[in-house]
């Protein structure tokens, strides 16, 4: 796994961005298909996907940062 460390460190922001975008698209689709009228309002799918995108990007970026930090400490 330590071989992937430098690659993941270099593309940490892109990896987090793509993962967050994918999860936000899934959440948008799920909320948009809801049968409840109060959730089907025009703004809830967008709000849910935006919140999901922000939280996922933050969490994945921190996890990658912590993982890569551990790899760098072991290599040096």
* pLDDT, tens digit, 9 for 90 and up, residues 4-46: 667 776 777 788 888 888 888 888 888 888 777 776 677 778 8
Cα–chain center distance at 53: 6
Q: Is residue 9 part of a domain?
A: no
Q: Is residue 6 part of a domain?
A: no
45-56 residue pLDDT tens: 888 888 989 998
Range of the domain at 51: 19-75
Q: Is residue 62 part of a domain?
A: yes
* CB 28, CB 49: distance < 8 Å: yes
Kindly state the tokens that stand for 50.
Answer: 């935006």
Number of domains into which the chain is organized: 1
Cα–chain center distance at 27: 12
Q: Is residue 13 part of a domain?
A: no
Q: Is residue 68 part of a domain?
A: yes
Q: Is residue 5 part of a domain?
A: no
Q: Is residue 43 part of a domain?
A: yes
């Amino acid at each position: 796994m330590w071989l992937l460390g430098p690659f993941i460190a270099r593309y940490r922001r892109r990896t987090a961005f793509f993962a967050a975008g994918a999860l936000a698209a899934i959440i948008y689709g799920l909320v948009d298909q809801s049968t409840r009228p109060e959730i089907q309002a025009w703004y809830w799918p967008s709000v849910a996907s935006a919140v999901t995108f922000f939280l996922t990007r933050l969490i994945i970026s921190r996890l990658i940062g912590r993982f890569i930090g551990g790899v760098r400490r072991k290599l040096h």
